[in-house]
Amino acid sequence: MHSMTLTKAAAALAIAAVASAAPAEAQYTYSEAYDRSAESPETFAFEIRVGGYRPDGSNGFDEAFEENFGDEIGPMVGLELDFLPLRIPYVGMVGAGLRFDWAKYTGKARALTGMGNVDQEQEFRVFGLPVLAVLRVDVLARELGVPVIVTGKLGLHTVFTTIDNGSRREHSGVALGLSWAAQVALELDFINPRRAKTLDNEWGINHTALLFELFGNTAGVGGSNLAWTFGLGMTF
């Protein structure tokens, strides 16, 4: 069920990304699209993401989560906004970002006396709020014409968690940790460089990209060592 949701979401993102670029027009080249002198300022990056996230931890957390919520991985949906005011020549952009992540897991409680699951729904909700330092390496795309961007992120992760056991809230808390992410993105300007240029001229959107990211954090309840996400990103 969840994997189907993820597939649909990923497909929707892909369609949205491809739709932003129409059929290629030969007379307008990829390198022209990367003509930075003609570009509008590129200071922000925005991402909309969906992926798999499974909270993990120690002291029996993994076992308890497995027993109560099975193999659920969300999906986790997220939005990220990066402010990238600095550019390091022949490397990329540096700045800071803020992300909002949200995921919900449901499962049935179990009977104390070994009768299996009971008809009592539980909900485990995670709301992640990492503040990140961002290094966006775009030298391949800008200098060599290879439309690949590699991004690293490191920062402080705050995760808010609520656990409802049927009609009662059993837990509501916040945990802190370090946050990391490694991202690879495929810039989509090459599909239709003219359209990409128009998008910049008319809307100030410099580039759009499909992204894949591995990320994680060291927060306690609600944190996860390793998760993944697909998404659509843009810089402006």
Residue ranges that bind other proteins, judged by CB under 8 A? 57-61, 63-65, 67-69, 107, 109-113, 115, 118-122, 124, 154, 161, 163, 165-168, 170-178, 218-221, 223, 225
Q: Tell me how far, at minimum, the Cβ of 160 lies from other proteins, in Å.
A: 10
Residue 166 vs 204, nearer CB to other proteins: 166
Residue 1 vs 112, nearer CB to other proteins: 112
Residue 44 vs 65, nearer CB to other proteins: 65
Residue 75 vs 107, nearer CB to other proteins: 107
Q: 138 near 128, Cβ under 8 Å?
A: no
Find, among 220, 176, 204, 218, the residue nearest to 46 by Cα: 204
Torsion of CA 193, 197, 202, 204, to 10 degrees: 120
Q: Tell me how far, at minimum, the Cβ of 218 lies from other proteins, in Å.
A: 4
- What is the spatial distance between Cα 74 and Cα 76, in angstroms, rounded to a whole number? 5
What element of type H or E holds 137?
strand 131-137
Q: Tell me how far, at minimum, the Cβ of 52 lies from other proteins, in Å.
A: 19
Strand, coil or helix: 17:
helix
Q: Tell me how far, at minimum, the Cβ of 4 lies from other proteins, in Å.
A: 23
Residue 220 vs 231, nearer CB to other proteins: 220
Q: Tell me how far, at minimum, the Cβ of 122 lies from other proteins, in Å.
A: 5
Strand, coil or helix: 199:
helix
What element of type H or E holds 208?
strand 207-217
